[in-house]
Amino acid sequence: MYKVFVNDIPIILSTKKEIGENYTSFPIKTVRLKKVIKRILKGELLYVNLYHKDEKKLLKFLFRKIKVVTAAGGMVVNPENEILFIYRNNRWDLPKGKTEKNEGLEASAIREVEEETGVRDLEIKRFITKTYHVFRRKGKLRLKETYWYEMYTEYDGELVPELSEGIKKAKWKNFEKSQKALQKSYANIKMLFPEKFLAGKSKDWVA
């Protein structure tokens, strides 16, 4: 199963025709995907399930229908176990950005985090997951596939938000402040954290 977010509303891609009574299900062989997305954007659809019996074909279908933009980013942690957030478009987010031509994913993730926050001396600890969300660029729908990495740094210098990218703040946040930030974040960002962390029951942010 996969989740593809349109704003904060997930389109579920699954091998099951029925996943809940609230969901409207469409077979991927016949669905008019862009029409479904436009209905979601208008608020006409809230629960969508796209299904096919072969799980391998789910993402392949999506990639054929919408042009894919590959991005990479990081959940950065320091020795105080604080997490590095950015503030853009009135939401708290994690730093990420589009990969450049012939650029490796890990190199892209490090470059984007450094450019967006001014942090340095990053070390990638592990790959976390991929997230998917639909957005508009020049009036056309695009699918962003973001590769997320857990990163560590002992950098304690000044953080410099990339103003040219609309980033107004770059901040280290402890457990309590991270909780508040995630309440004003995106659904696909929340997916990077374990349920117990989101519920305030554990300070362990590792999923």
pLDDT in tens, the chain (207 residues): 899 999 899 999 999 999 988 899 999 989 999 899 999 999 999 999 999 999 888 888 888 889 999 999 999 999 999 999 999 999 999 999 999 999 999 999 999 999 999 999 999 999 999 999 998 888 889 999 999 999 999 999 999 999 999 999 999 999 999 999 999 999 999 999 888 888 887 787 776
Handedness of CA 182, 183, 186, 188 (dihedral sign): positive
Q: Are 183 and 189 in contact (CB under 8 A)?
A: no
Neighbours of 64 (CB within 10 A): 12
Task: Note the helical H segments in the chain.
Answer: 33-41, 56-65, 105-117, 175-183, 187-190, 195-198
Q: Are 93 and 85 in contact (CB under 8 A)?
A: yes
Q: Tell me what pLDDT residue 207 has.
A: 62
Residue 44, token pair as written in the block: 């006409």
What pTM was computed for the model? 0.92
Q: Which domains, ranges and CATH numbers included, belong to the chain?
A: 2-65 (no CATH), 68-198 (3.90.79.10)
